[in-house]
Amino acid sequence: MGKLDGKVAIITGAGSGMGRATARLFAKEGAKVVVADVNLANAEAAAAELGDAAIAVHADVAKADDIKAMIDAAVTTFGKLDILYNNAGFSGPHQPLDAVEDDFLDALYAVNLRGVYLGIKYAIPAFRANGGGVVINTASAMGLKGRKGLAAYGAMKGGVVALTYAAALDYATENIRVNSICPGMIFTGLAGNDPAGGGTFPDYPGASPMERFGHAEEIAAAALFLACDDSSFVTGVNLPVDGGMIQA
């Protein structure tokens, strides 16, 4: 038996990288998966890998209507919603705070923070109808520790950390758990490689105290733990999966 047998999960940003690796693992563990992504072609390719266990949905998490439609698709197709993984996000170039364009700051906010907030907000009715649920957010090690050139990105991910703490308390009595994963430097293969996470793994000893990048599959494993009953008494946790980066 799989750890997610009978569960229905939505994963945003699931067309590539960490989201795609998580979709594979969740399906392997028995879940039905809504593969949501702003790039529909990538979402469809990822869902096709999983066969009848998945559907692809276009979703721009900066748009409330897209989030509502994504949740409706899960309930309409699979009958309920058990797990929402708010994974979609992006970073951008390393640059000092005063060099960040205002429009870029607004885009970071819309996707990386507001999108997570709206995902939780609109999933709550589906969770209540189901007697409970699990929210997993992708924050970042940079939301726990500052890094030169990433003030804007770190601010949004720090917001996800604070949002996770507060939302966990809002719904703790309703069997709705809210946690986040704080990745460090994870190689997803997206820099000039295929969206499934392929390509040559870089030789970059400074990526973490463990002297390597993390793998997308290592983030997926953390997401599985937070999604399944192994973590039934865990809520309000921002879990670093960073090779020790925030300790350095």
Q: Which of 114, 67, 91 is nearest to 184 (CA)?
A: 91
Entry pTM: 0.93
Strands 83-86 and 133-138: parallel
For 58-98, where are the alpha helices, taking DSSP H only? 64-78
Predicted pLDDT at 187: 82
Q: Residues of the chain whose pLDDT is less than 50?
A: 191-199
In a domain, 237, yes or no: yes
Domain range for 153 is 8-247
Q: Does 117 qualify as catalytic in the annotation?
A: no
In a domain, 15, yes or no: yes
- CATH number of the domain to which 152 belongs: 3.40.50.720
SS3 (DSSP) at 83 = strand
Q: How many domains does the chain have?
A: 1
Angle between helices 115-130 and 151-170 (to 10 degrees): 20
In a domain, 166, yes or no: yes
Distance, in Å, from the CA atom of 149 to the CA atom of 98, rounded to the nearest integer, reads 10
Query: Is residue 38 within 8 Å of residue 59, measured between CB atoms?
Result: yes
For the record, the structure tokens of 182 come out as 């704080």
In a domain, 241, yes or no: yes
Predicted pLDDT at 196: 46
Angle at 98 between CA 93 and CA 103, to 5 degrees: 65
DSSP bridge partners of 86: 137
Ramachandran assignment for 138, one of left (phi > 0), alpha (psi -120 to 50 degrees), beta (any other): beta
H or E segment to which residue 48 belongs: helix 40-50
In a domain, 2, yes or no: no
For 52-206, where are the alpha helices, taking DSSP H only? 64-78, 102-108, 115-130, 151-170
Q: Residue 84: what are its φ and ψ, rounded to 5°?
A: -120, 120
Place of tokens 């998580």: 22
Quick: pLDDT tens for 174-223: 999 999 999 999 987 654 444 444 445 555 556 688 888 899 999 999 99
In a domain, 52, yes or no: yes
**DSSP symbol at 200:** P
Predicted pLDDT at 46: 97
Q: Which of 151, 17, 155 is nearest to 94 (CA)?
A: 151
In a domain, 41, yes or no: yes
In a domain, 3, yes or no: no
List the catalytic residue out of 109, 153, 165, 171: 153
CA distances from 85 to 13, 79, 153, 200, 244 (A): 9, 18, 19, 27, 23
Which residues, in sequence order, are CB contacts of 158 under 8 Å at separation 6+? 139, 142, 143, 144
Predicted pLDDT at 209: 86
Angle between helices 64-78 and 115-130 (to 10 degrees): 30
